[in-house]
Amino acid sequence: MSDRGQTITTQEQETIKEENLIENTLEEEPDEKIIFRYSITSYGADYTLDSLVRRIQDGSIYVPSFQRAYVWKINDASRFIESLLLGLPVPGIFLSKEQDTHKLLVIDGLQRLRTLQYFYEGIFEPTKREFALKNVQSKLEGATYKSLPSEYRRSLDDSILHATIVKQDEPSDDNSSIYYIFERLNTGGKILTSQEIRACIYHGEFKDLLKELNENNSWRDIFGKYDSRMRDEELILRFLALYFNGDNYHKPMKEFLNQFMGKNQRLNLHSPPQIRQAFEQTIEVIHQSLGERAFKPKKLINAAVFDAVMIGIARRLEQGKIDKSDTLKDIYQNLLDDEKFRRFTVDTARTTEENAVNSRIEIATKVFAAL
């Protein structure tokens, strides 16, 4: 069923299924093993509910905000508040302490924390209606935070929610262990994609810049509609990571992207002008020469073709402007027809092997250097 309660036809389902799909995406890769051991510190902390809400409101506790992340209905939320009012035990939450800001990132417990925030603020955000308790004990039925008897309100404010707080000690520069903790615990009953998790863990200036680059008109014409699971942003991240740090690439690709985004979370490795120039200049040239069919040897964008062609042209642009649009188009088509290049892009599912990544980028760099 759709959001409007209408039946979706088989044809519509196929259309939705095909939209914005990418060949050789990270979600299809088999190489997801953690490649080294982490050193992590964890400790427990007890927070009163009113202090938790205050910390959420002032940003001291950062709650990842995905459109579909909050899944509780009013009955679920009311039962949680009722349990607290009755003094019943509730599950704790899981937080990560960020190394530079000392803010606390919510890894597990989003539903509980958002429910508290909505109840204290008086509006149940999913419906935009007043948050009045529903289907609870008769003496609490219809109660809002403000209408609670003062003794109940004080009891709620002083109630304790236990938190487990984790901090990555080693390695000290990328916070990548938090990605894996988040991935395993997930959030809201919705399985998040790799880039959605990165957007939670590595929120900040670099994430905001990726969002801005994702709005580039040439890129949108090539990729199509915005991808609700952020795979379009992930492709941009993939290009930037391999362009700026490809000499240090080691599989799995997921971990490589985690580390690059984590280390550059505050744009302390590569500046916004560097990043903008690398992506925008390259995608404009490609769009002008190849149009919306760029990176699509078949029907869909091929991630391996994307990163190789982008990097090959970006490296050529380091030497100056490209004026030969028709020549670029011919070189691109010859590249797609090249048997060796296809072996590392189109004709294999293992496109993230070190040899495949390095070889296809080397081939693309060499052919586009002739422009």
Give the phi and the psi of residue 124 in degrees, each rounded to 5.
-85, 105
Interior CA angle at 170 toward 164 and 173, to 5°?
100
In this predicted structure, what is the pLDDT of residue 8? 36
User: Mean pLDDT throughout 282-289?
Assistant: 97
d(C-alpha 226, C-alpha 233), whole Å: 9
Residue 189: pLDDT over 60: no
Q: What is the pLDDT of residues 197-231, one digit of tens each?
A: 898 888 889 999 999 999 999 999 999 999 988 99
Same domain for 258 and 302, yes or no, is: yes
Mean pLDDT of 259-287: 95
Lowest mean pLDDT among 26-40, 43-57, 99-113: 26-40
242 and 309 share one domain: yes
Buried b (16+ CB within 10 A) or exposed e, 333-356: eebbebeebbebbbeeeebbeeeb
Whether 109 and 258 map to the same domain: the answer is no
Local structure of 126: helix, strand or coil: coil
Based on the fold, state whether residues 82 and 208 are members of the same structural domain: no
Domain range for 276 is 20-34+190-368
Q: Which of 21-35, 107-121, 161-175 has the highest mean predicted lDDT (pLDDT)?
A: 107-121
Highest mean pLDDT of the ranges 11-15, 73-77, 261-265, 348-352: 73-77
Q: Would the pLDDT of 17 be above 50?
A: no
The count of other CB atoms within 10 Å of the CB of residue 25 is 21
Looking at 170, 202, 221, the residue that finishes a domain is 170
Q: Which element (helix H / strand E) includes 81? A: helix 74-85
Tens digits of per-residue pLDDT, 41-69? 889 999 999 999 999 999 999 987 654 56
Total count of domains within the chain: 2
